[in-house]
Chains A and B, each alone.
Chain A
Amino acid sequence: MGYAKLFVPPRLSPRFFHVWRRNFMVWRKLAIPSMLGNLADPMLYMLGLGYGLGSLLPQVDGTPYITFLAAGTVCYSTMNSASFEALYSAFSRMQIQKTWDAILNTPMGLDDVVLAEVVWAASKSVLSGTAIVVIIWVLGLSHSPLTLWIVPLTLLIGLTFGGLGLVMTALAPTYDFFMYYFTLVITPMVLLCGVFFPIAQLPLAFQYVAAVLPLTHAIALVRPLVQDHIPSAWWLHVAVLVAYAIVAFYVALVLIRRRLLT
């Protein structure tokens, strides 16, 4: 593949659905353990910290701490689902099982495969994010009909982190490489972007860093919805997430083309 050809715009086609469906078929076989695995971790943090730590705290941001934390947990869980899928699972399909190679011998293109992977990662995000929303309803932490808006938002957040994850996958020599991403990107985001406490509590320098991170914008959208009001400057936060999603997808695609087609 010529150097210039690596950079041609994505060729998006509904063909991607066949690959998405392949991943869905595999997931369906293991749906229950997979869902439990995806849900248990964020749920335990949310309930443990929310009730345990929350009982020591006054209201945070005008709501009980568990409600505050629940909104952060929706985003955290959404981010994690897409990240794990786009990192470990996609890498396994690309590098270990050679599933992508098998697909590329058919009338599918690599762009179809990469699009399918990012949409699939986002689909898993929708599941995990929505599951936390359901918990929020069941526990009565929010009765706002605005929380329904969170469902389409989890898709957008999933596309963002799915794309970012695929960038790492495109560069990864082995699974071990993903530890860097978790230690240097995911964990700092969880701590800086307002999952556990308001960003305003951080020193100013950290607040500036947080302002450009995608998880901050996800939380800026989801938390007000849980608290029953329309997020201020929602269009800005949506625009930031859309920009991250588009740029990450394109960068991942170029890197994966370079890795597999040259």
Chain B
Amino acid sequence: MLSLQGVRKSYGNREVVCGVDLELRAGECFGLLGPNGAGKTTTLRLALGLSDPDSGVIELLDYPIPQRAREARVRVGVLPQLDNLDPDFTVAENLLVYGRYFGLAAAQIAPRIPELLQFAGLEGRADSRIQTLSGGMKRRLSLARALINDPDLIVLDEPTTGLDPQARHLIWERLKQLVARGKTILLTTHFMDEAERLCHRVAVMDNGRIIAQGTPRELIARFIEPAVVEVFGDTAQAWADESGKLVCDRLERIGETVFCYVRDDNRVLATLGNGEEPRYLHRRANLEDVFLKLTGRDLRD
């Protein structure tokens, strides 16, 4: 579907993509995870042929990129990070005009518009102006627009950033339907719950490099202890100094919270009493724990 081998890209003296290898298989949902500025969007631009790599080999739907990017994009749908719907057009006109860019005739596009609006939960909004749509509706319309050419590969750059929980769940639901229909999806996100929910495989990217790759479960098993106890409250630090250090396999202090990573959680829970003081949250390790371990907890801007 899409493969990148040894792809590099610099802007000025700064290398933003430093030797990326990726291989997308047909029918999978692949997540590219990373903090802001990790190089995710640049990687997508390179994959779509919108920017030329300094070195490396890219193939998209069997076409060499960037040489034949235009042909490859005939079968690709793109949801950009920031909505760029046409504010001068109605909902339906946005889909019509966008379909024409793929060389489709109005007669081919017209029957798809009601289908796509239904898929996006925008029935009855065909004649609405873009300015009257909520953020979630615009995002769904952007998704519908990305499907106008019935693409084989759908590329989504942070599909749910800035959406409320209802809107996020609706988008997730739709993306699952697309995968069920046999579409291949490449998405970037910095929401680990999103990646864990949707993606068959993920790659964690930081500072322009892929630092880990696999299924979410594999990454959790490989990089992190299976259980996490988050301890917080006034006595959390004291607990960490007295017992935490002894019973945890790995202990991290973030502000007032102590993150205790363990294989045997019973030993930890035994030291914590009834949970009134210090309070604690006992949970399974998740992709976010892996992500924070691999990319660190420092703020990224």
Partner of A107 from the list B50, B52, B87, B103 (CB cut-off 8 Å) is B103
Residues in A neighbouring B71, C-beta threshold 8 A = 107
Q: How many angstroms from the CA of A194 to the CA of B98 in the assembled complex?
A: 44
**B130-162 interface mask toward A, CB cutoff 8 Å, 1 = contact, 0 = none?**
000000000000000000010000000000000
The interface residues of chain B, by DSSP majority, are classed as: loop
Q: How many angstroms from the CA of A1 to the CA of B88 in the assembled complex?
A: 32
Residues in A neighbouring B27, C-beta threshold 8 A = none
- Asked if B222 is an interface residue, CB under 8 A from chain A, the answer is no
**B76-92 interface mask toward A, CB cutoff 8 Å, 1 = contact, 0 = none?**
10101010111111000
A-B contacts, 11 listed (Cβ < 8 Å):
A1-B52, A15-B103, A19-B101, A26-B89, A99-B84, A99-B86, A102-B84, A105-B48, A106-B98, A107-B101, A107-B102
- Asked if B51 is an interface residue, CB under 8 A from chain A, the answer is yes
The interface residues of chain A, by DSSP majority, are classed as: helix
- Which residues of chain B in 176-213 are interfacial with respect to chain A, using CB atoms and an 8 Å cutoff? none
**B103-135 interface mask toward A, CB cutoff 8 Å, 1 = contact, 0 = none?**
100000000000000000000000000000000
> Are B88 and A261 touching (Cβ within 8 A)?
no
- Asked if A2 is an interface residue, CB under 8 A from chain B, the answer is yes
Determine how close the nearest CB of chain B comes to the CB of A110; give it in whole angstroms. Answer: 9
Determine how close the nearest CB of chain B comes to the CB of A169; give it in whole angstroms. Answer: 18
> Are B101 and A101 touching (Cβ within 8 A)?
no
> Are A101 and B84 touching (Cβ within 8 A)?
yes
> Are B84 and A97 touching (Cβ within 8 A)?
yes
Partner of A2 from the list B52, B76, B93, B97 (CB cut-off 8 Å) is B52
Q: Which residue of B lies closest to A108 (CB)?
A: B101
- Asked if B163 is an interface residue, CB under 8 A from chain A, the answer is no
Interface residues on A, range: 20 to 34
- Asked if A25 is an interface residue, CB under 8 A from chain B, the answer is yes
> Are A22 and B103 touching (Cβ within 8 A)?
no
Residues in A neighbouring B89, C-beta threshold 8 A = 25-26
| Those 10 A-B pairs whose CB atoms lie nearest each other, nearest first | A98-B84, A106-B101, A105-B78, A102-B84, A26-B88, A1-B52, A18-B100, A107-B74, A107-B70, A107-B73
Taking beta carbons and an 8 Å cutoff, which residues of A are in contact with B? 1-2, 5, 15, 18-19, 21-22, 25-26, 29, 97-99, 101-109, 261-262
Q: Which residue of A lies closest to B11 (CB)?
A: A262
Determine how close the nearest CB of chain B comes to the CB of A5; give it in whole angstroms. Answer: 7
Residues in A neighbouring B70, C-beta threshold 8 A = 107-109
Q: Which residue of A lies closest to B145 (CB)?
A: A102
Residues in A neighbouring B97, C-beta threshold 8 A = 21-22, 25
Residues in A neighbouring B100, C-beta threshold 8 A = 18, 21-22
> Are B102 and A102 touching (Cβ within 8 A)?
no
Residues in B neighbouring A106, C-beta threshold 8 A = 73, 98, 101-102, 149
